């Protein structure tokens, strides 16, 4: 009898692990936070474009000035602020979006002369700031000033030069010569006309010689075409990341 009890007890104990193993193990699942979800989504979207993009030297980028610049008041070293107005693409994908900020500095200024010499302005662009704050260093120069009838480009160093003022000077002399001739004619008949014209011409010439030529005036919103002076590397995963995911 005791032997049977011991055998039954042994069988009962040995069967306990079997029942324990049949019980399912449930691991509680914690829902991801909203911040983690945004970060995961950003990582997933950035993964295919993780490789850096090389924007080649010579690429032209249209800009709009965010402040006015004049050779009359600007000084060497003054900052220049601009913004891209059209996206730059590569392989059917945007690498520099419109609205990207560009910062530069004024490198040299030449005031117009009184007798000869035109106003000249040279600026260089030093950095590009994407909408989310990602910043790259660049060497950029002015390639042109589209839409400006008063300026032209001089040389290969990105120098903006004011157009000549010969027509304006001739008009100044003419507007002073004709009234002088009229006054002379009234004062002494026909003989006074020549004297008056001569006096008026001298006054007009003196005005031209004592007055500086026109300054370069680039207003806020003026179009500037920038060209990259060397190849620029852009980390697309950082450049195109939504600013809200960094908060």
* 28 pLDDT above the threshold of 50: yes
- How much is the average pLDDT of 193-202? 53
Quick one: DSSP state of residue 23?
S
56-75 tens-digit pLDDT? 999 999 999 999 999 999 99
pTM of the complete model: 0.62
Q: Which CATH number fits domain 34-164+214-246: 2.40.128.260, 3.30.70.20, 3.60.21.10, 3.40.50.720?
A: 2.40.128.260
Nearest residue to 185 (alpha-carbon basis) of 173, 170, 200: 200
Alpha-carbon span 136 to 138, nearest angstrom: 6
122-152 tens-digit pLDDT? 999 999 999 999 999 999 999 999 988 888 9
Q: Spell out the alpha helix ranges (H) of the chain.
A: 2-21, 34-46, 166-188, 191-210, 236-239
- The secondary structure of 38-67 as a DSSP string is HHHHHHHHHGGG-S-EEE-TT-EEEEEESS
- Give the pLDDT of residue 68: 95
* 180 pLDDT above the threshold of 60: no
- Give the pLDDT of residue 94: 92
Band of residue 198 on the pLDDT scale cut at 50, 70, 90: low
Alpha-carbon span 239 to 97, nearest angstrom: 9
**CATH 2.40.128.260: which residues of the chain?**
34-164+214-246
How is residue 72 written in tokens? 């009359």
């Amino acid at each position: 009898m005791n032997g049977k009890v011991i055998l039954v007890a042994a069988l009962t104990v040995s069967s306990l692990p079997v029942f324990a193993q049949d019980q399912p193990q449930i691991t509680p699942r914690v829902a991801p936070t909203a911040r983690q979800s945004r970060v995961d989504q950003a990582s997933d979207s950035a993964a295919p474009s993780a490789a850096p993009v090389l924007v080649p030297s010579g690429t032209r980028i249209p800009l709009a000035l965010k402040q006015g610049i004049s050779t009359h008041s600007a000084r060497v070293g003054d900052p220049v602020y601009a913004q891209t107005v059209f996206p730059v693409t590569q392989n059917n994908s945007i690498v520099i979006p419109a609205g990207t900020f560009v910062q530069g500095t004024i490198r040299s200024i030449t005031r117009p002369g009184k007798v000869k010499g035109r106003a000249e302005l040279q600026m260089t662009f030093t950095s590009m700031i994407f909408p989310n704050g990602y910043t790259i260093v660049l060497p950029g120069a002015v390639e042109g000033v589209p839409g400006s009838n008063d300026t032209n480009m001089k040389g290969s160093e990105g120098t903006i030069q004011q157009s000549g003022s010969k027509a304006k000077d001739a008009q100044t002399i003419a507007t002073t010569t004709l009234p002088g001739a009229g006054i002379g004619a009234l004062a002494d008949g026909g003989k006074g006309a020549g004297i008056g014209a001569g006096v008026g011409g001298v006054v007009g010439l003196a005005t031209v010689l004592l007055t500086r030529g026109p300054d370069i005036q680039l207003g806020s919103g003026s179009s500037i075409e920038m060209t990259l002076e060397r190849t620029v590397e852009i980390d697309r995963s950082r450049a195109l990341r939504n600013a809200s995911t960094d908060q």
